[in-house]
Structure 1
Amino acid sequence: MNEVAEAETVGAEVKRRVQKQLGRASTSRAGMWFWEVDRVLLLLTLFLMAIGLVAVAAASPATARRYSDATHIMAPMHYFWRQLMWVCVSVPVLVAVSMLPIKLARRLSLIGAILFTAMLFVLPLVGAEVNGAKRWIGVGISQFQPSEFLKPLFIVSTAWMLSFRARDPELPVLFVTGAMTALIGVLLMLQPDFGQTIVFALVWLILLMISGISPLAIGGLMGTAVAGVVAAYLFYGTARTRIDNFLFPTKEAALHDRYQIEMAHATLTEGGLTGTGPGGGQMKFRLPEAHTDYIFSVIGEEFGLISCAVIVLLYAAIVIRVFMRMIDEEDAFVLLAASGLAAQFGVQALINMAVNTGIAPSKGMTLPFISYGGSSMIALSIGMGLLLAFTRRNPYLKRSPYTGRWSKG
């Protein structure tokens, strides 16, 4: 009995210390972070990661069989265990980045944007070629994709430059950020990576609209975007091939892009509303890149279209949550950075799901926090960490509905 009483006393003391450490009166970094961070947004992100682990476990046997040969037989759950490792690395990264002060997060993002843009310059020389594209740089036994890491850092850097318009609307930030986006787009198309180019361009346009440029300028940019797509079709072979294979499929196209799209759609709808059950899918074994580009289709087959709808709602909830949180934000930089990161997150998810449902050509783009990939997972964790850092709120302050100023509640 004494041992039981002693154990209860120790347990109560540990609980008291944790409550003190994380309580509202705590001034420690961890305690302040716990109360300042948007815990709903954090939980939604962790929920997506958990769904991703289940989805990769479902897709892993199909991918392992596809990439096995006579000399190297992969274990059925090979990709699941590797994804679990990447999640264990990514969660601490996400939390650490979310703890950064806004000024430090901005400064590190600017430095990182310069560094990864420089990597895009040298990628044609040192990049590893996979499926005819040089998008990866090898580091030891692994590889990483510079453009994945550049996306959130580019958004924060662009938001910082556009925020100067609030002080001086005459500054040429539109031209500077446009030139920067065009440069990155050219470097991406040289890889080639048309899908990422579209993401960078779309997020830049969204940031411009949020920053408050005139409707006339928005119309001009939209026209320029249409002209850019037409020019890409006429002069950029990769874009022309993808568009032709999607809109005007031939027998040759049926063996490549069109085959992937049709198989993805067939796999997605195979399980009906409720799915075949975990491990019950068979169409996934005929699906290329089941663990990355087309994991949404694997989810549809084994867990049903209802589960796919829930995932769509989760992505929508994250984006809407951020925009609702930014409604009363007065700092132009924070407003643009958080909104841009949320927009990039939503655009990437939307493009991936559009490809899986057959309403967009193949892009080679992952589904955020669900698709397999260490480079993608860590880069997304950095982006979400920055988003959580920019949406933190001091729990001791309340905004007056009359003056709009923050004061102690």
Structure 2
Amino acid sequence: MVSRAQRGAVADWFWTIDRFFLALFILLMGIGFMLSFAGSPAVAERLGLDSFHFVRRHSIFLIPSLITMIGLSFLTPRQVRRTAVIMLAVMIVLMVLVLFFGQEVKGGRRWIGIGALSLQPSEFMKPAFIVTCAWLFSEHARQPEVPGNLFAILLYGMIVALLIAQPDLGQTILTTAVWGGMFFMAGMPWLWIILLGGFATGGLVVAYTMLPHVAGRIDRFLTGEGDTFQVDTAREAIIRGDWLGRGPGEGIVKRIIPDSHTDFIFSVAAEEFGIIFCMALVLIFALVVMRGLTLAMRERDDFTRFAVAGLVLQIGVQSMINVGVNLELLPAKGMTLPLISYGGSSMVAICVTAGFILALTRHRPEKRAVERSLFRSGIGVPAE
């Protein structure tokens, strides 16, 4: 056990980290590893690979993911901001390169090869974009003469243009929802809300009109006609699981779900472990969001408040999209379940998000001491 009397970096981290947040993130990673045994062997066998090929790769991805999350949690808010700005600049460059040199998968260019690895820059863009926009919003709130909101709007437009060019409508919707939530927290005027809402609606109409694969997915969702094999099979897996599931390794329908280890891992969990288990999994994600928003509301620093709220919204909205698709409440869209689904880029990127959250929500005694000192002198307000 680490002593409170110690003053080393590890001791300071241990006593200042939000251990409830840390436990939730590690719990989700553990559940994801467990579910990889249920969802991935059938996919590996269809591809002619060893049954536990994806299980081994998932376990390998856990190591850099955990190191990334813990390492970033040591940063100060200023270091988080600087790291995010640098990361965003690098990811924007890579997202441009993806359009020309990226690997085409299912009609989209979202991956770029770096040596023996494949990287999806848009996954790492999300937490960096959120933190950078939080900084821009906070600067405008602190100094109204600084055009932080305008820069955030221009940055949003650039990111959305790159996502649509790939094309990746799911990430576009996710980014728009989180960015809009942060802008609303930053005091967006109602005129802006109406204008941006109209812009988002118009964007969906244009996507439906101009992108055949988008129109196809929406039409299949509304009419139930066409190739609905994947979502129908996922629904069947959930139904067969009932309340308590068929038991570990006893799932049958999961074996024919094409993306059972990634986009439809929730359906696999329902078939083998039951609806009650899935409800508990949803509750964990809800706790992450509620914990983050509660801490954000208590925070006096605008940057920290906007960043923490935006980062937990990213996890919450992404999990809602994934679960909604599995339950046929939303049109089919490839979106991983954070920290659960298989995928190196997705897992490491979500751990970047988690690391930023842990860094920004650490208890900082020196900050509290300053606030109490200012209060005693009649300058500030007492710290909570």
Partner Cα distance (2:101, 2:192) in 1: 39
SS at the partner of 1:327? helix
Structure-1 residue corresponding to 2:154: 179
Structure-2 residue corresponding to 1:7: none
Structure 1 segment 339-354 matched on structure 2, within 5 A: 339-354=309-324
Residue segments in structure 1 that go unaligned for 5+ positions in a row: 1-18, 69-73
Q: Any conservation in 2 of the 1:124–1:191 contact (CA below 8 Å)?
A: yes
* Cα distance change of structure 1 residues 322 and 404 upon mapping to structure 2, 3 Å threshold: farther
One-letter amino acid matched to 1:164: E
Structure 1 segment 302-321 matched on structure 2, within 5 A: 302-321=272-291
Structure 1 segment 215-226 matched on structure 2, within 5 A: 215-226=190-201
Deviation (angstroms), 1:406: 3.7
Structure-2 residue corresponding to 1:83: 58
Partner Cα distance (2:211, 2:362) in 1: 43
Q: Any conservation in 1 of the 2:322–2:336 contact (CA below 8 Å)?
A: yes
Q: Any conservation in 2 of the 1:264–1:297 contact (CA below 8 Å)?
A: yes
Q: Which moved more, 1:95-104 or 1:176-185?
A: 176-185
Structure-1 residue corresponding to 2:163: 188
Q: Any conservation in 2 of the 1:194–1:238 contact (CA below 8 Å)?
A: no
Deviation (angstroms), 1:120: 0.8
Matched, 1:36 2:24: no
One-letter amino acid matched to 1:331: D
Q: Which moved more, 1:324-333 or 1:220-229?
A: 220-229
Structure 1 segment 26-105 matched on structure 2, within 5 A: 26-68=6-48, 74-105=49-80
SS at the partner of 2:298? coil
Deviation (angstroms), 1:170: 4.7
Q: Any conservation in 1 of the 2:296–2:306 contact (CA below 8 Å)?
A: no
One-letter amino acid matched to 2:120: Q
What whole-Å deviation, never above 9, does each CA across 1:289-325 have from its counterpart, x for those lacking one?
1000000000000000000000000000011011111
Q: Which moved more, 1:284-293 or 1:161-170?
A: 161-170
One-letter amino acid matched to 1:131: K
Q: Report the identity percentage.
A: 38
SS at the partner of 1:273? coil
Structure-2 residue corresponding to 1:23: 3
Structure-1 residue corresponding to 2:382: 405
Alignment size in residue pairs: 377
* Cα distance change of structure 1 residues 242 and 173 upon mapping to structure 2, 3 Å threshold: farther
Larger Rg: 1
One-letter amino acid matched to 1:373: G
SS at the partner of 2:297? coil
Deviation (angstroms), 1:198: 0.6
SS at the partner of 2:128? helix
What whole-Å deviation, never above 9, does each CA across 1:366-408 have from its counterpart, x for those lacking one?
000000011111111111101110111125747779964349x
Q: Any conservation in 2 of the 1:261–1:361 contact (CA below 8 Å)?
A: no
One-letter amino acid matched to 2:266: F
Matched, 1:125 2:105: no
Structure 1 segment 189-204 matched on structure 2, within 5 A: 189-204=164-179
Structure-1 residue corresponding to 2:266: 296
Partner Cα distance (2:242, 2:203) in 1: 39
Return the match for 1:378 from 330, 333, 348: 348
Deviation (angstroms), 1:237: 3.0
Q: TM-score, normalised by structure 2?
A: 0.94
Residue segments in structure 2 that go unaligned for 5+ positions in a row: none
Q: Any conservation in 1 of the 2:140–2:149 contact (CA below 8 Å)?
A: no
Deviation (angstroms), 1:249: 4.0
Deviation (angstroms), 1:125: 1.4
One-letter amino acid matched to 1:351: I
One-letter amino acid matched to 1:30: V
